[in-house]
Amino acid sequence: EVQLVESGGGLVQPGGSLRLSCAASEFTFSSYWMHWVRQAPGKGLVWVSRINSDGSSTNYADSVKGRFTISRDNAKNTLYLQMNSLRAEDTAVYYCAREVREAARPGSFDYWGQGTLVTVSS
């Protein structure tokens, strides 16, 4: 069965950095666009970033543009999110999610990881 397992979350001070990882298994990782979505405590889902299948194209939410970088290593079946200049408002559970695309059309997120908690606090 498809598995997405996030890691790398933790407590970090404002202005600090953190790198999240998402290990994928049981599917052809290199064929899928991947996303990061976050959820602040008690709040709703917010899309953060996406990367296409070969890593040549990315998009970011305005709130993280210039501070976060999404990347992937298809040889290691792993998605990354490098987070710099962290702020208190970045505190959230971060999920990685797989986008299902049919005939190159945009798609929904059919598989999600269990999430990793990032807490930005002094």
The footprint of another protein (CB under 8 A) covers 35, 44-47, 50, 59, 61-62, 95, 99-100, 106-115
∠ CA 49-109-117 to the nearest 5 degrees?
Answer: 55
CB of 13 vs another protein, minimal distance in Å: 27
- Nearest CB to another protein, comparing residues 59 and 71: 59
35 or 72: whose CB is closer to another protein? Answer: 35
Minimum CB distance to another protein, residue 97 (Å): 8
Closest C-alpha among 47, 40, 42, 19 to residue 93: 40
Strands 3-7 and 78-83: unpaired
Least distance in Å: CB of 59 to another protein?
Answer: 5
Least Å from the CB of residue 4 to another protein: 9
- When the beta carbons of 11 and 100 are compared against another protein, the nearer one is 100
Q: For residues 39 and 92, is the Cβ–Cβ distance under 8 A? A: yes
Q: Rounded to whole angstroms, how far apart are CA atoms 69 and 58? A: 9
Q: How far apart are CA 116 and CA 38, in angstroms?
A: 9
